Chain A
Amino acid sequence: MDTLLLSRIQFAANISFHILFPTITIALGWALLFFKLRFNRTKDRKWMDLYLFWVKVFALSFALGVVSGITMSFQFGTNWPGFMETVGNVAGPLLAYEILTAFFLEAVFLGIMLFGASRVPGWLHTLATFLVAFGTTMSAFWILVLNSWMHTPVGHELRDGVVHAVDWWAIVFNPSMPYRLAHMLLASGLTVAFLIAGLSAWRWLRGDKAPEVATGLRFGVILGALLIPVQILAGDMHGLNTLEHQPAKVAAMEGNWETRGHVPLLLFALPDEVARENRMEIGIPSLASVILKHDPAGVVPGLNDFVAEDGTVTHPPVAAVFWSFRVMVGIGVLMLVASWAGVWMLWRRGAESLPRPYLWGLTGMTFAGWGATLAGWYTTEIGRQPWLVQGVLTVEEAVGEIAAGMVLTTLIAYLVIYLVLLAAYIGVIFHLARKGGRVAAPLTAPVLQPAE
């Protein structure tokens, strides 16, 4: 394999591993603040128990997010020097603002939030919790500004092959930023909703019927039910925005080869890039045209428009984009069914008597948000190929000349570590859930103990 492909796999592995944890911490920070505020108001112990349980998950996820994020910041330089050399004048300030306004804020106040409860006044601890949640969201804001700019770059000019910023307002509020940011923040909310619902359901199934378990279950299911319709709407708007700015990506998502009207919504197909057609197609007639153009006869761009005279393909790989999009939408539909059925049952029977098969289903969906988030990112990121910055810089131009063997060695090392850590993370989360309520009672022993 060549350096380019290996570097791409390595970056994909790093960023895929990394995004799992911010996806949890962005929304979980706000959930913790909510638990804390509910406790401050009601003085009901169950809210503090919820806080104390989920703050452990937060701390663990945060640590994994930090260390995998550091890896990424270095890989810009080690593997993709062309990126910063070409677009550094735009990407640099955005990353700098992320570090300055988000990283330090979250890191410092995390210490106070985790370990300062007994050392600072209550209001300061609540403020620290707020600032940590705010910091994670700021971090998401800046990084999504940069990512969106890479998809829909505006506000810059090229001088001697180097990008120079001319209009920062246009760069920050670039055309796809509001949609992408909303889509990601909602994805984080849904990930946390199903994480809390799933883990609470599992605790309940194991016979842990502490009040905070039922409350967590209710919180997760209701949050999921509230967010999923908003997410479907935001996703749709994001898709329309992509159609306007990156039509080749939408053509690949729909598996549509020819520009035409009455494009079906494909439920299943095997896109074949050699024959340039789909095999085993199953679709709903005209539905893709209706979704994208709000008209059955609406003309949707096709992939064949993105083949140059000499046969050079300038659209992304079709099957990967086509299928990751379907995985994302499929999980979204599953979330809709699970959360709305859950709310119906909560309303009819209460959190204490949900049917066991439903609770097992929720347990199975504990990490469903991860699946949808990764699939969504693969759709949008693979959908930008062969560009790194749409229309400005290709992936191939940015890669650094490192010996392929070196990249392969580090890639294997990263993969091994990521797999071990992922297994350990999931294992420990379920271990914490197993211990559940039993450690929530304050420890009175004066021995020195590490924070759990």
Chain B
Amino acid sequence: MFDPEILPLIFAALLGASILLYVVLDGFDLGVGLLFPFAGEAERDRMIASIGPFWDANETWLVLAIGILLVAFPVAHGDILTALYLPVAVMLIGLILRGVAFEFRAKAPLGHKRPWDGAFWAGSLMTALAQGFMLGMYIMGLSWTWATVAFSALTAGALAVAYSFIGAGWVILKTDGALQRKAIRWAQGGIWGVVLGMGAVSVATPLVSPRIFAKWFSFPEIVTLAPLPLMSGLLVALLWLALRRLPTVNDSFAWFPFVGAVVLMVLGFFGMAYSFYPYIVPEQLTIREAAAAPESLAIILVGTLVVLPMIIAYTVLAYVIFRGKATKLSYD
């Protein structure tokens, strides 16, 4: 039914799409958690209210991504996850803390709210740092040396800042008044981290691998690739200008920092995808080598083609229902 040669590529694309959706969607609600220490008590409630209906579904994209890696590329799954054992554990503990703190902070006795807010922040931070660390290790080919760990520490910090930036963009979009003005200042502070992070990854990636170096800097690839850094640079400049002019009187362009951050992440993602293709474990295992049996992939693909449009439809429905500025979360 499906060409067995094409199936691994389709699943690699699905995996990429899930990771990208995860990074953007959970990115903004992790970012909101990261910004907790800078907000007051009532502001934190409103920030939580802005992500309340979404965070759970956002996190499900991570489960889908790991699921696709697991089912479509079982060999790569084992290689990658055993190499990243410790950062994965840190991320999982972070996700646990963050997910439960979300509920506990509102349901526990009032005196316990502050410690749970602390847990929400700590969980978000652990998750963001661990994911950034894993990104760095992945770029470095999953080998543990002093140099790779140092680089991964840098990407860990960079991703946490990037998440904070998109989180600030989300708060600008979903709130108004004093909190919105605060979020604009957070975004102004965060944009430098984004530039630094993306720059560091861009400089390091070709240096680590001669193959990627050749892929980037040979003619005519360099011409087709050039729009990526150019567009990123232009977008950063526009974001910087916009953040200086926000908030506007009628709240126009409040969407721009968030959307700009999303586009930046998408551009960064495509840069990475271009560099690493066709490898799934960098320089060791290609997409084709790691793929599961075609008949198993085919049966998943049938289900995916039917169900994924439905998932996207009701996800969009949820964002439509909860559009506009965040208000009090209430069960009735």
Contacts and interface: CB of A to CB of B under 8 A. Distances in A.
Contacts of A400: 78, 82
Interface string B72-107: 101101111110111011001101111110111111
Nearest to B77: A77
B54 A111 contact: yes
Interface in B50-79: 52-54, 56-57, 59-60, 62-64, 66-72, 74-75, 77-79
A366 B274 CA distance: 55
A225 interface: no
B42 interface: yes
A68 interface: yes
Interface residues of B, number: 74
A402 B295 CA distance: 32
Interface string A62-100: 111011111101101110011011001111110111011
B53 A115 contact: yes
Contact of B78 (A70, A77, A90, A449): A77
Contact of A92 (B45, B300, B315, B318): B300
A425 to B, nearest CB: 8
Contact of B67 (A73, A101, A164, A401): A73
Given A67-B95, A115-B52, A88 B63 contact: no
B131 to A, nearest CB: 12
A70 B62 contact: yes
B96 to A, nearest CB: 4
A49 to B, nearest CB: 10
Contacts of B296: 88-90, 92-93, 164-165
Given A74-B81, A76-B70, A424-B108, A442 B332 contact: yes
Interface stretch (A51-59, A204-212, A249-257, A285-293): A51-59
B311 A112 contact: no
B70 A77 contact: yes
A100 B328 contact: no
Interface in A412-442: 413-414, 417, 421, 424, 427-428, 431-432, 442
Nearest to B315: A108
B322 A119 contact: yes
A256 to B, nearest CB: 39
Interface string B307-331: 1100100110110011000011111
A159 B148 CA distance: 39
A92 B56 contact: no
A259 interface: no
B332 A52 contact: yes
Interface in A99-135: 99-101, 103-105, 107-112, 114-120
B293 interface: yes
B299 A428 contact: no
B89 A78 contact: yes
Contacts of B303: 93, 96-97, 100-101
B318 A84 contact: no
Given A77-B81, A88-B292, A111 B56 contact: yes
Contacts of B79: 81
**Which of A63, A91, A400 is most buried by chain B, counting CB atoms within 10 A of its CB?**
A63
Contacts, number: 245
Given A70-B59, A89-B292, A118 B330 contact: yes
Interface residues of A, number: 78
B246 interface: no
A406 interface: yes
B243 interface: no
Contacts of A111: 52-54, 56-57, 318, 322
A89 B102 CA distance: 36
A88 B74 contact: yes
A449 B106 CA distance: 9
Contacts of A448: 42, 45-46, 49, 327-328
A67 B57 contact: no
A77 B80 contact: yes
Contacts of B307: 100-101
* Main SS at interface, chain A: helix
A91 B67 CA distance: 11
A52 B107 CA distance: 13
Contact of B71 (A55, A82, A88): A88
A60 B104 CA distance: 7
B57 A108 contact: yes
Nearest to B81: A77
Contacts of B311: 100, 104-105, 108
Given A100-B308, A417-B97, A432-B107, A63 B57 contact: no
Interface string B175-192: 000000000000000000
Interface in A149-208: 162, 164-165, 168
Contacts of A88: 70-71, 74, 292, 296
B302 to A, nearest CB: 10
A451 B62 CA distance: 25
B295 to A, nearest CB: 6
Interface of A: 48, 52, 55-56, 59-60, 62-64, 66-71, 73-74, 76-78, 81-82, 84-85, 88-93, 95-97, 99-101, 103-105, 107-112, 114-120, 162, 164-165, 168, 400-402, 406, 410, 413-414, 417, 421, 424, 427-428, 431-432, 442-443, 447-452
Given A77-B80, A112-B321, 6 more contacts: A62-B56, A81-B81, A90-B296, A97-B303, A110-B56, A117-B332
20 contacts: A55-B331, A70-B63, A71-B96, A78-B89, A90-B296, A92-B70, A96-B304, A97-B303, A99-B63, A103-B60, A105-B311, A108-B311, A108-B318, A111-B52, A111-B54, A114-B329, A117-B332, A406-B86, A449-B45, A449-B328
The 9 residue pairs across chains A and B that have the minimum distance between CB atoms:
A81-B78, A92-B71, A77-B81, A111-B53, A88-B74, A450-B106, A67-B99, A451-B329, A107-B57
